[in-house]
Amino acid sequence: CTAPPPHSVLLQLHRRLCFRAAHPLLPGGWYLQSMGSYGEPAAKLRKTERMKRLMQVCILLYVVLYCMFYKSTHLRREPVTGDVYVDGWLPKLKTTTDVFSNLGYCSAQIQSADVQAGSCVKAIRQTAIDERPSPHTLFPGQSVLAAAAPEEVDGNVMVKIQPTGMVYLKDVQLCGAGSATTRRCGYVNDVDLQSFKGGNFIPTFVQVVHQKASCVDGSENIKTCQLDYKTTADYEQQLDEFFIGSIEQYQVQFTHTFESDTLGQRQMDQAEHFGIPSCAISMLYPFCYDASDGGHDMTSIGRLVGLIGQNLSNNNAETDHVGRRETFRTSGMKLHVQVKYSNLEDFWSWTGSGTVGYSYEVEQVPAESVWRSKTITRKEEMRAWVSGDMLANFGDHDRMLIWADGVEIRAHVSGHFGQLDLSSLLVLLASAGPLLFFSGALVSCMVGVEEGVDEDLDLGLPCSSDTYEGSGMSRMPLSGDSGSTGARGGDDAL
């Protein structure tokens, strides 16, 4: 305290500390009379101490509550890996198309009463005109005039057309119907619906194309020549297109395993199912757990898509169609499902002994279109996609192309397990020491800069007069002493 530093901020801190140290050693006979020049620094010191304590409490709360209990930064994180198996099947519905009549995205089937003599009807899929003696084909979009009201022939409702012939009522639509109502809903069995290669893909919209065979050398010897399948309009003709009816109810099953360095490899039934109720209790949640057959989680296409706030009838803004207008039902959608394992969900997880469990996160991956294709050469397999009457014009070497847009599901296991690490815990606690120390110095400097200190303040206390002007201190004469400033008397006076 005999050599104050020249820097102003340090000078202020120096004067406060020196005043505090000198306070109990004031010369005999002198006391703090009022909050004057020497009383004000004492009040400021008390304010500084309170601010120091507050900041130190905040630091401790941050280190203990936030870093240790909430974030568990002292735990050693082990990555979790594993495998996910995705399977699915259609719900148990009637396979007849009349069950789809109440679906908003399916075109209403034309009714017999809607067609009269002279009505214009157009084909919504390739269909054979039963015209004897030489039947021919009516292709999608081509229109004819009805010769009479529909009638039942051999168990099928047929429409007589002009000049001669008949077509199936289910294959035509009124000419005045918009293009949006010309797509019907169809049914395809589970095995063929999941026969597309390239991941877990569930079709929502299907186009069926007849591809005619030709010879590479241009000859007509189709039985012995090298076959060629051209893509021009003369060799490719669309037979049909339809939505997969009730695809939102398509059931999706997730089965997965997980593995870490400490726990090793385990099955999903050995973990807690965070936020996933039992399917026996409720199937209204996005996921439910079925303990049968080793355990698996169940959901549906509709519930998966609903988790990202979408439905298949919403517009896909990423499409390359004109005006970027196309529904997900025809463009397809790509979903990414994360199975996240953790043992940090419980309050006591800071000890590294939290409950091991998993949860799901679903996100949409932007895509212009999500589609698959397959080629079918056997007529028995073709019948899974179209009726037999559509194969009347197929040659022995012709083949069928299936183009499908749909929902692609990609899933993987991720996450971390926390294990108690004493060295990390000690480092975390030790880091609080320097923070507490520097916080005190920082507060002192901040208060000093904010409030300021008189540069002319002198902590040396003179003893040559009874009253010091502006100091707020006075001399109190002691009994038996007319002004003596003896050391012992000064202590008693204080």
d(CA 335, CA 328): 12
Among residues 362, 428, 435, which one has the least CA distance to residue 70?
428
Q: What is the mean pLDDT of residues 303-308?
A: 94
Residue 220: CB partners within 8 Å, gap ≥ 6?
Answer: none
Evaluate if residue 47 carries a pLDDT over 50.
yes
d(CA 213, CA 211): 7
Q: What is the pLDDT of residue 475?
A: 45
Q: What is the pLDDT of residue 468?
A: 41
Q: What is the mean pLDDT of residues 98-109?
A: 70
Range scoring the smallest mean pLDDT among 93-97, 259-263, 334-338: 93-97
Evaluate if residue 143 carries a pLDDT over 50.
yes
Over the stretch 368-397, which tens digit does the pLDDT of each residue have? 999 999 999 999 999 999 988 889 889 999
Range scoring the smallest mean pLDDT among 28-37, 273-282, 329-338, 397-406: 28-37
Q: What is the pLDDT of residue 109?
A: 57
pLDDT band for position 93 (50/70/90)? low
Evaluate if residue 431 carries a pLDDT over 60.
yes
Residues facing residue 315 across a β-bridge? 327
Q: What is the mean pLDDT of residues 13-21?
A: 54
Range scoring the smallest mean pLDDT among 8-12, 342-346, 385-389, 485-489: 485-489
More confident residue, 48 or 237: 237
d(CA 49, CA 83): 58
pLDDT band for position 9 (50/70/90)? low
Q: What is the pLDDT of residue 337?
A: 97
Q: What is the pLDDT of residue 397?
A: 94
Q: What is the pLDDT of residue 149?
A: 85
Whole-Å CA distances, 14 to 363, 434, 435: 60, 21, 22
d(CA 192, CA 294): 26
| The amino acid at 473 | M
Q: What is the pLDDT of residue 473?
A: 46
Q: What is the pLDDT of residue 331?
A: 94
More confident residue, 196 or 131: 196
For strands 236-244 and 184-186, give the pairing. Answer: parallel
Over the stretch 202-234, which tens digit does the pLDDT of each residue have? 999 999 999 999 999 999 899 999 999 999 989
More confident residue, 211 or 425: 211
Whole-Å CA distances, 171 to 20, 21, 147, 268: 101, 103, 16, 49
| The amino acid at 50 | R
Range scoring the smallest mean pLDDT among 176-190, 254-268, 409-423: 176-190
Q: What is the mean pLDDT of residues 257-266?
A: 92
Residue 450: CB partners within 8 Å, gap ≥ 6?
Answer: none
| Number of helical H runs and strand E runs in the chain | 9, 26
More confident residue, 231 or 430: 231
Q: What is the mean pLDDT of residues 70-93?
A: 82
pLDDT band for position 1 (50/70/90)? low
Q: What is the pLDDT of residue 153?
A: 79
More confident residue, 81 or 63: 81
Q: What is the mean pLDDT of residues 247-275?
A: 93
Q: What is the pLDDT of residue 94?
A: 56
| pTM score above 0.85 | no
Average pLDDT of the chain is 78
Evaluate if residue 33 carries a pLDDT over 50.
no
Among residues 393, 371, 388, which one has the least CA distance to residue 235?
393
Evaluate if residue 445 carries a pLDDT over 60.
yes
